[in-house]
Structure 1
Amino acid sequence: MNVNRNISIIGVPMDLGQSRRGVDMGPSAVRYAGMKERLLEIGYEVKDLGDITVDHTLDESEGQLKNLNEIARVSDELAATSDGVIKEGNFPLIVGGDHSIAIGSLAGISRNYENLGVIWYDAHGDLNTPETSPSGNIHGMPLAASLGIGHKRLVNLYAEGAKIKPENLVIIGARSLDPGEKELIREKGIRVYTMHEVDRMGMPAVIDEAIGYLKERTDGLHLSLDLDGLDPSEAPGVGTPVMGGMTYRESHLAMEMIHESGMLTSAEFVEVNPILDDRNRTADLAVGLMGSLFGEKLK
C-alpha cells in the first residue's frame, strides 16, 4: 500500500493544553517554513484547509483540568474535519498546536478503521489522567483519553469510549514518564521504546520492530510526532524540552522507514513553539521530517 497522494492540511493553533504560551503559532511557523511547497515538490496534491478557530480568551477549568470546555470543543471540530478528510479519500496532515489536539485527531481518524495503529513519537507518554496529572494540563492526557481513560468529556469526544486499543500503540523516544503513566503502561502492556532502547538497539531496529508489531494487528497507521521527541539542541522551539532526545538524523531515518512501510494513513506534528525557537529552526526541522515521511529522496 502506498501513501495517499492527496493531502489535506489542517491547522490547529491550540495552546490551551499546556502552560507556556506560543504553540498556537506553530501552524503559521510550519507553513512559513514551506510545508505545502515541500509536499508539492515531492509530487503530492495538497489542499490547505486553514486553521480551526480556537478562542484563547476562555479559561473554563473543571477541577484539576485546565481549559476543558474549549479544548473539547476544538477537539470535536478537529475530529469531524479529519473524519471528513478521510471520507473524501484524502490524507489528513494535522499541524498543532499542543499535543492535546491528538484527542480530536484520533477520535475522527479512528472512525474509519477497525484497528487503528498509532506511533507516538514523543519524549512524554501523555498517559496522565486528572487523578495522576501533576499539572492539570490536558496536553499530558491525550493518549489516556484515546484509550478510554480519563474525564468523560474527553473520553467520549465525537464517539463514546476508547478510540484506540493499547495493543495497537507504540511509543518511541520516551524519557520523561510520571509514576501514574508508568503504572498504566505496565497495566495495559503498552509497547514503549524509551531512549534507553533507542540508544541500545539503534533506530533502525526500533522502527523495524514497531512496524512488524503493528503490521500484523492494524488496518491503518497514524503518526503523532511531538517535536520535543527530538533533543532540544536540535529542536529548541518546543514547550516542554527534555534533554537526551532523538537526533535529527535518527528522526529522518525513522520517517523514511515509516514511509517505506507503506502503512501510513494519517499524521500530525505538534508542539512547535516559535517564541522559544531560534530563527524558525524547529519549524524548518518539522518540514524536513515531513519530507522524509512522505518519501522525499536524496537521489
Structure 2
Amino acid sequence: MDATEVAIIGAPMDLGAGRRGVDMGPSAVRAAGLHARLASLGYSVRDLGNIEVVQPESTTPKSTSARFLDEIAASCTRLAKIVERAASAGQFPLILGGDHSIAAGSLAGLAKYYRKSKAKFGLIWIDAHADMNIPATSPSGNVHGMPLAAALGMGPRELTHIGGFAPKVSPQNTVLIGLRDVDPAEGVNVRESGVLAFTMRDVDELGLRQVMRRAIAAASDGTEGIHLSFDMDSIDPDYAPGVGTPVSGGLTYREAHLAMETVSDSKLLRSLEIVEVNPILDTANRTALLAVELIASAMGKRILP
C-alpha cells in the first residue's frame, strides 16, 4: 500500500443479517486496540466515526425477499461517499462492519474513485459464504447474502446502481476464497458470473499460499490495486466464535494470518474491510481481538522485522 494515513470508517449495519448484535462490531474492533496497533506500524490514523444506520426497531421491512432493502441502500450510499472521499484524499480506507451488506457501499465508493482516472480495481472476497444471492434465489431475504452479486451488477437496482452505475468490479478481477456454505441457486450465480472461486476443498488441496498467489494474480490483472473484503466467518468458529453465521471447517488462525500477510507482501492492497464481528456472540472479545491482529498483518506487521 502507498498511503501512510488510514481512514477508519465504521458501518454499524445489522439490517442485512438475521441475528442482532453485529452493529456493535465497529466499536468492539476499536476497543480491541485498533488505533494503537496501526500507530505502532507507523501509520497516522484518522477515525471518521460511524455512518448513520437506522435501527430495525424503528422501521418495517417492505419485502421478505430483500429485507430492509431501501434502508440498507441509503446507508450504503452514505458509506460510498465517505469511502470515495477518503480514497481521493490519499488515505487508506479501512471499513469496519457491521454485516456484509455494507460492501455494496464500500465497493461503490471505491469504484467511483477509480472511475475518475478511468482505472479499475480488483477484489478478493474471503468468506464462508458467496454473498451472491439475489432476491429470487435467497432463502432468507437477508441482504448480507447479496452484496457481491450487487457489485457485479446482479440483483435489485437499489444496490447495483449505488453511485449511478453498474457493475462496480469486473468478474475477471474478482476472487472468492474460503467458500463452504453456498445456497444451491446461489452456486449457479457464482458459476455463471465468471468470478474465480476457491472453496475450502480447494484450500485443502492446493494450500492457502497457492490459492492466494492465484487470487492476487487475478485481482491485480490490469487493475490499480486490490480491495480485500474479509468476513470473520471465513475463520473456523474455534478461533472466531463471535460471528452471526458460524460454519465449521473454516480457515485456521495461521491460514487467516497467511492470507493477510500474502496480500500485504504483494504491495497491491489499497483498501480493506472487516465485517461480521458480533460481540453478543463472542467470548471476551476474542473475535474482535483477532480482527485487529489480522488487520495488522494486512497492513505490514511481521514476525521478524
TM-score of the superposed pair, with normalisation by structure 2: 0.96
Aligned counterpart, 1:22: 21
Aligned residues with identical type, % of pairs: 51
Q: Which amino acid aligns with 2:282?
A: D
1:266 and 2:267 correspond: no
Give matches, 1:91-106, under 5 Å.
91-106=92-107
Deviations 1:160-196 (A, max 9, x none): 2211111110000000111222112221221011000
CA distance in 1, matches of 2:264, 2:138: 34
**SS of structure 1 residue aligned to 2:40:** helix
Give matches, 1:142-291, under 5 Å.
142-291=147-296
Q: Which amino acid aligns with 1:126?
A: D
Aligned counterpart, 2:42: 43
Aligned counterpart, 1:110: 111
Q: Which amino acid aligns with 1:87?
A: S
Q: Which runs of 5+ in 2 are unaligned?
A: none
Counterpart pick for 1:128 among 128, 133, 155 = 133
**SS of structure 2 residue aligned to 1:283:** helix
CA distance in 2, matches of 1:207, 1:286: 19
Q: Which amino acid aligns with 1:237?
A: G
CA distance in 2, matches of 1:59, 1:48: 31
CA distance in 1, matches of 2:172, 2:221: 11
CA distance in 2, matches of 1:254, 1:142: 22
**SS of structure 2 residue aligned to 1:223:** strand
CA distance in 2, matches of 1:101, 1:226: 11
Quote the RMSD (CA, aligned, Å): 1.0
The answer (yes or no) to whether the contact 1:3–1:259 under 8 Å persists in 2 is no
The answer (yes or no) to whether the contact 1:115–1:168 under 8 Å persists in 2 is no
TM-score of the superposed pair, with normalisation by structure 1: 0.97
Aligned counterpart, 1:4: 3
CA distance in 1, matches of 2:11, 2:89: 20
The answer (yes or no) to whether the contact 1:82–1:105 under 8 Å persists in 2 is yes
1:138 and 2:137 correspond: no
CA distance in 2, matches of 1:22, 1:63: 21
CA distance in 1, matches of 2:253, 2:172: 28
Q: Which amino acid aligns with 1:7?
A: V
The answer (yes or no) to whether the contact 1:119–1:169 under 8 Å persists in 2 is yes
Deviates more, 1:125-134 or 1:177-186: 177-186
Number of aligned pairs?
298
**SS of structure 2 residue aligned to 1:236:** coil
The answer (yes or no) to whether the contact 1:10–1:51 under 8 Å persists in 2 is yes
Alpha-carbon offset, residue 213 of structure 1: 2.2
